[in-house]
Structure 1
Amino acid sequence: MTTFILVSGMFTGPHVWDGTAARLAEAGADVHAVALSGLGGATDASGAAGVVDLETHVADVVAAIDGAARTAAGGIVLVGHDYGIHPVVGAADRRAGSVARIVYLDSGLPQDGVPALAAVADQGLRESVLRSAAEGDQGAVLPPPSRGEWRLWGSTADVPAAEIDRLTERARPQPLGTLLQPLRLTGAADGLPRSGVLCVGNGASIALVQARVNLGEPTLLPLLDAGWAFLELPTGHWPMLSAPAALADALLRASAGEGIRLTAPDAARPPAHLGPFPIDVPEVPRERTTNIDLYVPCAARGPHPAVVFVHGGPVPAEARPTPRDWPVLQGYARAVAGRGVVGAILDHRLHSLNDYERAAADVADAVERVRADPRVDSDRVALWFFSGSGPLTADWMGKPPGWLRCLAVNYPIMAALPNWGRIGDRFRTSDAVARAGTLPLVLVRAGLESAEIAATVEEFEQAAAACGAALDVIDVPNGHHGFETVDLTEESREAVRGALRAVLSHLTT
């Protein structure tokens, strides 16, 4: 008989696990849902004064382990959802000998010395916590979300309205100490088996994690260890409320060690983003200066029109090669150079979801430097964005300069995904497109895009249609995200050629 200890996230208590716990019990498991101090736990009942911090919650989970260990026969599986993974990992470090497995349920990866606040995606919420802490109130708390604010803490997709009501009614303020105190780990639990259960509706997937590993993100490299396995649920961030039976099944499978293992990048088989460009392009020499590579036409005299290519992301700062050495961007730059247009690729600093402001400044600076090059016709420039750089297009659509002849986007993410939090009103592309006027827009749309990304594109398209924007859509019906190197098909090749024709037509007329 497996023993499950379930630890919920911020503002919540054991009640969120009711449906899943009942199904686990029906399957023969022993189930304990932990009531954390300050969120319905022991200090609440006693009315005891004092600061509740992360160590308080670690102690709560340790107490649950000690209590369950007296009767546990099949091993203890610790399950941490969202914030709950922090006290879970801390407790596993202190009771490693009693724990059979740790399950990360749509959560981050806690690190020694790092507070839980670092895992909060929403920059505005993080800043609010820090402001409250700066006021010096040791007992300060973060108020729970209102009914309409839960989506800021993760997708509420598939959660019944009645469950949202219940979640809101029973929510408790989160003690700030639980978010600000750094987690302390000795490494005692490093060898424990671990499972990740990812909620696809919240913007997480095994494929996405694998892609991040392929990019070389250092914090994810431990996931290559043989002790890790991953499962997915096709729902939002609250599977215990939206799909309790499916979650129970996933936890039972995880406890048995089932799941998909990630693979290390193979030099003999490069990851998708380093695959070959699908069409033949000329060998145009590049000129490298600081963070920009230029591909300048060799034959025709200048000044030439230019296309500035803006890579997606976030891309880890440690990723090698950097985006301007990726074949897909080099392929596009060489392709336009072969047609008499300067191709420019920049490495910008979109390294995390908090970096959109910084990346926007990098792009603006690079564009002006390209326009200042004497070989470039500064009045004929196009910008071409990819994937996660989609929100950066808002600056250019919202106030298009006269020299901007075209703005293109390939398989873009046009708004913050559910697990991103808020990235700033400045980057609301669906608002900005209303001010685009007659600026030609080219959208290259992948037919097999993930539902979460496709939803952001659909919202943008609806806004573009409502204001009569000059939007030209190139469909790749059987194309995935990054189709140029993922799908080496004639359809992909024709889409690349069609996109090049569409963009260049606005520069050469």
Structure 2
Amino acid sequence: MTDFVLVAGAWLGAWAWDEVAAELRGAGHDVHPLTLSGLAEKRGAAAGLETHVRDVVDEVERLGPRDVVLVGHSYAGLPVGLAAERIGDRLRRLVFVDANVPVAGESFLSGRPSEGVRRSLAEHDGFWPPLGPDECAGQGLTDEQIARFVDGATPHPGATLTEPATPKRPLTGLPVTYVKCLLDGDEPMPAVARLLRSDRWELVEMATGHWPMFSQPRELAGVLRASVSRS
């Protein structure tokens, strides 16, 4: 039995993991989907990147597991990656799902065209509005899955996107599975490609889009279960 702490990316809360969590629990694991501050049922709470790191660390400390797998999807790769180094020997494995990874001095918006996002933050009181249905196209989602995403998404606190990461040590020393969703691009981003040179990192590819917890929950749960056997 393993304790999984699951953290979804921008606009999403713990609810996004419902199907994956059910699969993992059915296999006998303890599963703890986490909503970050300012999102979903915690909407309205002030939050920066450090707030989200603390959310993850506090959840692990509250649960008290010594054999935890931290899973971060998309944006959540930043707080999950930073939290991983703080929980020490409680960590069994870190899984990034089509995620950003923390790079010292860089934010979520670093290294990408960000003018549109920054303008949107300025126009929406510092929050990043969720995507609409048309922006979810081409990611392997059914109309029903897109509707579920759009209906459940909430504005994302912008400070978490602009604050730079401050890792204390290289992620190369941690046991990591990186899940690349091929409909969102064939190649990992450059920061991930560099880290994948480490013999403690492994790459797993999924033939689906950026939100596999919706499009392929059973397959994603299988990837998470398999990552444990390699820890």
The answer to whether the superposition gives a TM-score over 0.5 is yes
Secondary structure of 2:218 counterpart = helix
Aligned-partner Cα distance in 2 for 1:170–1:221: 34
2:94 equivalent to 1:102: yes
For residue 237 of structure 1, what is the aligned residue in structure 2? 210
2:226 equivalent to 1:253: yes
Contact 1:104/1:197 (<8 A) preserved: yes
For residue 203 of structure 1, what is the aligned residue in structure 2? 185
Aligned-partner Cα distance in 1 for 2:157–2:73: 17
Map residues 242-391 of structure 1 onto 2, 5 A cutoff: 242-257=215-230
For residue 147 of structure 1, what is the aligned residue in structure 2? 133
Secondary structure of 1:118 counterpart = coil
Aligned-partner Cα distance in 2 for 1:6–1:236: 18
What are the Cα deviations for residues 378-412 of structure 1, in whole angstroms up to 9, with x where unaligned?
Answer: xxxxxxxxxxxxxxxxxxxxxxxxxxxxxxxxxxx
What are the Cα deviations for residues 173-196 of structure 1, in whole angstroms up to 9, with x where unaligned?
Answer: 011101000111111765220111
Aligned-partner Cα distance in 2 for 1:236–1:132: 24
Aligned-partner Cα distance in 2 for 1:52–1:184: 16
Change (3 A) 1:90 1:148: same
For residue 148 of structure 2, what is the aligned residue in structure 1? 166
Change (3 A) 1:189 1:202: closer
Aligned length: 231
Letter in 2 for 1:175: P
Letter in 2 for 1:96: G
Letter in 2 for 1:222: L
2:19 equivalent to 1:19: yes
Shift of 1:223: 1.5
For residue 59 of structure 1, what is the aligned residue in structure 2? 54
Change (3 A) 1:257 1:55: same
Contact 1:231/1:254 (<8 A) preserved: no
Letter in 1 for 2:6: L
Aligned-partner Cα distance in 2 for 1:54–1:27: 33
Structure 2 gap segments, 5+ residues each: none
Aligned-partner Cα distance in 2 for 1:77–1:4: 5
Contact 1:58/1:87 (<8 A) preserved: yes
TM-score (norm 2): 0.90
Structure 1 gap segments, 5+ residues each: 259-509
Aligned-partner Cα distance in 2 for 1:173–1:80: 19
More relative contact order, 1 or 2 (CA 8 Å, 6+ apart): 2
Structure 1 stretches of 4+ with a deviation exceeding 6 A read none
Aligned-partner Cα distance in 2 for 1:82–1:219: 12
Q: Which has the larger radius of gyration?
A: 1
Secondary structure of 1:116 counterpart = coil
Letter in 1 for 2:149: L
Contact 1:92/1:189 (<8 A) preserved: no
For residue 298 of structure 1, what is the aligned residue in structure 2? none
